[in-house]
């Protein structure tokens, strides 16, 4: 019960910040996706089970705010969390390249799954334009943001490990 009391307000804050602030900022057509960034970093430095719970808590709020049918974002977010978890248990999980690669692939995979779900629901989407003008620039922008965010996390965690008595 306690994780739900934590994740619901956090989900509201993340989705509100994503929709109100970050969707207004574009770079070469790409948008920063703080939801995927936070879920991947939480999976790598937190708990896989709690990251799954956070994805399930965030997805309906994200759908409601963005105007998507309710439940469309659940499968893409759970897929991103699972992808991050798969590599975190290997030697690659301790390297800098893994979180950047997971976020890059996660943004691509989440967008493709969302577009596929919308096509199955009867929406008509311009796949080519969306992929080249929005999804790929978003994936590169989020990978760059992962580098900027991930380096201080690694430095802080290494500093905390050396301070233990």
C-beta of residue 142 within 8 angstroms of C-beta of residue 33: yes
CA-CA distance, 112 to 62, in Å (whole number)? 17
Range of the domain at 25: 2-162
pLDDT digits over 52-98, tens only? 888 888 888 888 888 889 989 999 999 999 988 886 665 555 566 77
Tokens encoding 89: 């248990």
How many structural domains compose the chain? 1
Cα separation of 48 and 147, whole Å? 21
Q: Average pLDDT for residues 146-165, to the nearest whole number?
A: 63
pLDDT at 164: 43
Asked if residue 57 lies in contact with residue 81, where contact means CB atoms within 8 angstroms, the answer is: no
Place of tokens 């998507």: 68
**Higher pLDDT residue, 155 or 119?**
119
Residue 26: which H helix or E strand, with range? strand 26-27
Q: What is the pTM of this model?
A: 0.79
DSSP character at residue 27: E
Q: CATH number for the domain including 38? A: 1.10.1760
- What is the DSSP code string of 74-141? HHHHHHHHHHHHHHHTSGGGGSSHHHHHHHHHHHHHHHHHHHHHHHHTT----HHHHIIIIIHHHHHH
Q: Identify which has the larger pLDDT, 128 or 154.
A: 128
């Amino acid at each position: 019960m306690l994780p739900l009391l934590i994740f619901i307000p956090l989900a509201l804050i993340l989705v509100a910040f994503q929709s109100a602030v970050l969707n207004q900022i574009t770079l070469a057509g790409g948008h920063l996706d703080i939801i995927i960034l936070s879920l991947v970093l939480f999976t790598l430095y937190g708990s896989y089970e709690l990251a799954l719970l956070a994805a399930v808590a965030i997805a309906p709020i994200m759908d409601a705010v963005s105007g998507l049918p309710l439940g469309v974002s659940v499968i893409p977010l759970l897929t991103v969390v699972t992808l991050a978890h798969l590599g975190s248990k290997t030697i690659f999980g301790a390297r800098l390249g893994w979180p950047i690669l997971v976020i890059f692939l996660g943004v691509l995979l989440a967008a493709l799954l969302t577009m596929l779900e919308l096509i199955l629901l009867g929406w008509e989407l311009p796949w080519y334009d969306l992929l080249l003008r929005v999804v790929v620039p978003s994936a590169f922008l989020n990978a760059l943001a992962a580098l900027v965010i991930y380096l201080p996390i690694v430095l802080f965690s290494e500093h905390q490990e050396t301070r233990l008595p």
